[in-house]
Amino acid sequence: GNSVTQMEGPVTLSEEAFLTINCTYTATGYPSLFWYVQYPGEGLQLLLKATKADDKGSNKGFEATYRKETTSFHLEKGSVQVSDSAVYFCALSVGGSTLGRLYFGRGTQLTVWP
Amino acid sequence: DVKVTQSSRYLVKRTGEKVFLECVQDMDHENMFWYRQDPGLGLRLIYFSYDVKMKEKGDIPEGYSVSREKKERFSLILESASTNQTSMYLCASTTAQGSNSPLHFGNGTRLTVT
C-alpha cells in the first residue's frame, strides 16, 4: 500500500540551527512527493515537491531530495528562523484510481527559539 | 491564487445533531477532499470526489457522508454527531492533471461535539 513515515516531534531548535526532518515512504508505482507546512491557525500549504527520482524540491531555504534507493524525502534547512515554527507534513501522491489523493505522515511540530 | 473557503472556523454541536460542514473553491478544480486532523494521527481522508455527484470513501468514512451537487462546493455531513468526531476538519481541492498537482487547503473548521 501507500504510506508515509516521518520523524516524531516535537523538534525544538535555536535560531540559525540546522534542521532535518526525516521522511520515508512506501508506494505502489512511482509517487510524487511533497512537503506541506501548517502555520498556527491555518490550513496546510505546499512547501515543496519532487516528482521523480533524484529531483530536488526547494523553497524558502528548505530543500528535499527524492531518493528512490532509500525511499526517502528528508526535509532540510541550513539556518532556521523563528518564523519557521510550524507543523511539517510529508506526503505522497500516486496516479491511477487514487489520482490527486495525498497520503500524509503524522506531522512534525517544529519550534524555533530566538 | 486558489481560494478554498470553509464556512465556519469553529462549531460547537451537541451529540446526535446533524452537522453540515461546507467548503467552496474558486478555481474550477475537479477534485475535492475532506480530511480530519487529530494530534498524533496527522491527516486522515474521510471522503473525496472527482466530479459533480461523484464520491469515494476514504480511510475513515464511518459516521460521515458527503454531497457534491455543484463543482465548486463539497459538503461534509455528520448524520448524528458523536463526541469522537470532535476534531479539526480540512477541505482541499486540486486539478485532475496528474498525480503531481498540489492540494490547496482551506483554513479548517474546528468542531467540538459535546
Q: Partners of B11 in the beta sheet?
A: B111
> Letter for the amino acid at B95?
T
pLDDT the model gives residue A81: 97
Q: Contact, A80 vs A87, CB < 8 A?
A: no
Could you tell me the three cell numbers for B1?
491564487
**pLDDT at A97 > cutoff 60:** no
Tell me what the mean pLDDT of segment A8-30 comes to: 93
B:7-66 residues touching chain A, CB 8 A cutoff? 31, 33, 35, 40-43, 45, 48, 50, 58
A:49-78 residues touching chain B, CB 8 A cutoff? 49, 51
pLDDT the model gives residue A100: 67
Distance (Å, rounded) from C-alpha B29 to C-alpha B21? 19
Task: Specify burial of residue B34 (Cβ count, 10 A radius: 0-12, 13-18, 19+).
Answer: buried
| Closest residue, chain B, to A98 (C-alpha) | B99
pLDDT the model gives residue B57: 94
Q: Does the beta-carbon distance from B99 to A42 stay under 8 Å?
A: no
Confidence of residue A1 (pLDDT cuts 50, 70, 90): confident
Residues A43-67: tens digit of each pLDDT: 899 999 998 899 999 999 999 999 9
Q: Does the beta-carbon distance from A95 to B102 stay under 8 Å?
A: no
Beta pairing, strands B109-113 & B10-13: parallel
| A43 → closest Cβ in B99, B100, B108 | B108
Higher pLDDT, residue B113 or B97: B113
Q: Does the beta-carbon distance from B102 to A42 stay under 8 Å?
A: no
CB contact, 8 Å: A86 with chain B?
Answer: no
Distance (Å, rounded) from C-alpha A1 to C-alpha B59? 13
If one counts every other C-beta atom within 10 angstroms of the C-beta of residue A44, the result is 30
**pLDDT at A106 > cutoff 70:** yes
pLDDT the model gives residue A55: 95
Mutate to test the interface with A, among B9, B27, B100 (most CBs of A within 10 A): B100
Residues B21-59: tens digit of each pLDDT: 999 999 899 899 999 999 888 899 999 998 899 999 999
Least confident window among A6-10, A36-40, A94-98: A94-98
Higher pLDDT, residue A94 or A48: A48
**pLDDT at B2 > cutoff 90:** no
Chain B closest CA to A107's CA: distance in Å? 6
Q: Contact, A112 vs A16, CB < 8 A?
A: no
Average pLDDT over chain A reads: 92
Q: Contact, A63 vs A57, CB < 8 A?
A: yes
Tell me what the mean pLDDT of segment A6-22 comes to: 95
**pLDDT at B1 > cutoff 70:** no
CB contact, 8 Å: B96 with chain A?
Answer: yes
Average pLDDT over chain B reads: 92
CB contact, 8 Å: A114 with chain B?
Answer: no
Higher pLDDT, residue A97 or B84: B84
pLDDT the model gives residue A102: 86
Angstrom distances, CA of residue A7 to CA of A4, A75, A105, B35, B82: 10, 11, 9, 21, 31
**A&B contacts, CB < 8 Å:** 65
Q: Does the beta-carbon distance from A106 to B40 stay under 8 Å?
A: yes
Could you tell me the three cell numbers for B49?
470526489
Percent of chain B with pLDDT over 70: 94
Distance (Å, rounded) from C-alpha A112 to C-alpha A107? 16
Tell me what the mean pLDDT of segment B3-7 comes to: 93
